[in-house]
Structure 1
Amino acid sequence: MTERSNELPPELYPELAAAGGLREALAREAVRRGHRAEPMDPVEGYGPAVGAGCARGEARFAVYATDADVREFRIEISTDRGEQTALFGSTGDLAVVDAILHAWRAGASIGQLRREWTLLASSPLEAAPPGSVVRTAWRLTLERSPTIRLGDAELAEALYAQPALRVFFPWPSHGQFSLLSSTADPFYEELPRAVPSGDGRWNVVLHGSRWSPHMPSRVLGSRLGVHEAAALIAANIPAGSGPAVEGGWPHPPPIMTP
């Protein structure tokens, strides 16, 4: 993974501007709250200003500050068996991060933590603040986080480079890459998707769906590079589409008449 940039707006993260970044900021916050300031470890792929972690046996606690647009500390906690991440959280308050970290270090279980802090959830998108699910999905996609389904990295970067596409929900699946108009089932896909052509290049395909049963699938472009494919998808956004709604698509499919 490419190391995340340490450059965050000081007006959003004033406490991270000092030497030591996030790791030292957490230590200072612990002292301020009367907690023991135990050392935090670096997190692979993240500089000290934006990532910090620690272990408790096989369990792991990590916190990230990577959003340059909105103040956010993102929490990830794994289980005592060292399995995949079990809890996710998001807060703009470093004191909340310290409180959760202190309870976790004291031996609080996953269940106890979730009961005490309702901001903690079982998936990173459930933990995303209202209105930020799409932004969170893109950020985790670009950071190559194992907590979310990942598609081709180069294609993801090219799609995100098109500002008009950033308001849609990234949804890679089976090698293909869709941009959806809803963030949960029922999913609604109205944009063309990128489909691998088998030679490292991409076809851009418009698919029919249950919301548009009379629209046949068709190929809009073949054997394109990632930037060409992203530009073609952006050029074929239907009028009035986006931004993606949070949750399932709220409108029922049309009723078919014989």
Structure 2
Amino acid sequence: MTSNTPRAARHEPAPADPGLYPDLVAAGSLAAALEVAAAEQGLNLGTVLSDDSDPLRTAGVASTAPGREACWIFIGSESRWFNINGLCRGVQLLSGSTSDLGELARAAAGWRKGAMLREIEEAAPFIEVSELAEAHERGPAEAVIAQWRLLLEDLRQEARRLGLARQTLALAETASAEPKLRQLYPFTSHWSLHFTTCTGFPYSWNVPFVDPLSDGRYRVCGPSRGTVIGEADTAEHAIALVVGALKADCGPAVAGTANDLRDRQIGRSLEK
């Protein structure tokens, strides 16, 4: 999509007040201060990653667990806080904010050694463990089940006030009763209902999706947005069009991202 609207000038984040972080200033960087906080507790963070261009603002801790990316820590500029987040196969599992550097070190150490989310939360109570994150931790099948339930709950809330939400809810309820779609990971975008064969972001675009129309009807497209499969008067007809256009080997959804799916497909092609 293109636009003639001038882009806003990019503003770099305001520098943090050194008075909020005397421990970081004394250590020379967030990474160094984090290493000190970990060492004081007998924790091993490995080599803590740092941004040389702004060493007080960010730091990262690599994980030894398969699929887990390095968790990254960012500091607040107006008040003292440390925000941590960690991705695993395209899903943010680790998140939380604290002003306590020691507690932060315990969370990072747990992520590094592959501790379960609840174990990390027990060691560092500021960590926020969502139901969906725990489901992803248990595997893609559990993540799909949780995502369907949470999606339907959210749509039922929104349907009380928005017509398009009511249409999308009708789609989701119909799709959730269809076994071929129930095994895929559902999500919505601008009230369109999508299905992906992977549970991490970026999601795959290899399954048709449905747009609710302002006149109460539906348009089924895909897999690419420019391909229209057909229009339907009812949610049931729209979902039937999606099911009819599915590939024979579609699903169940697997852990990872669309990029992972592409890499696996390339790998299989090279093996032939």
Q: Give the TM-score, by structure 1 length.
A: 0.45
| Higher-helix-fraction structure | 2
Q: Bigger radius of gyration, 1 or 2?
A: 2
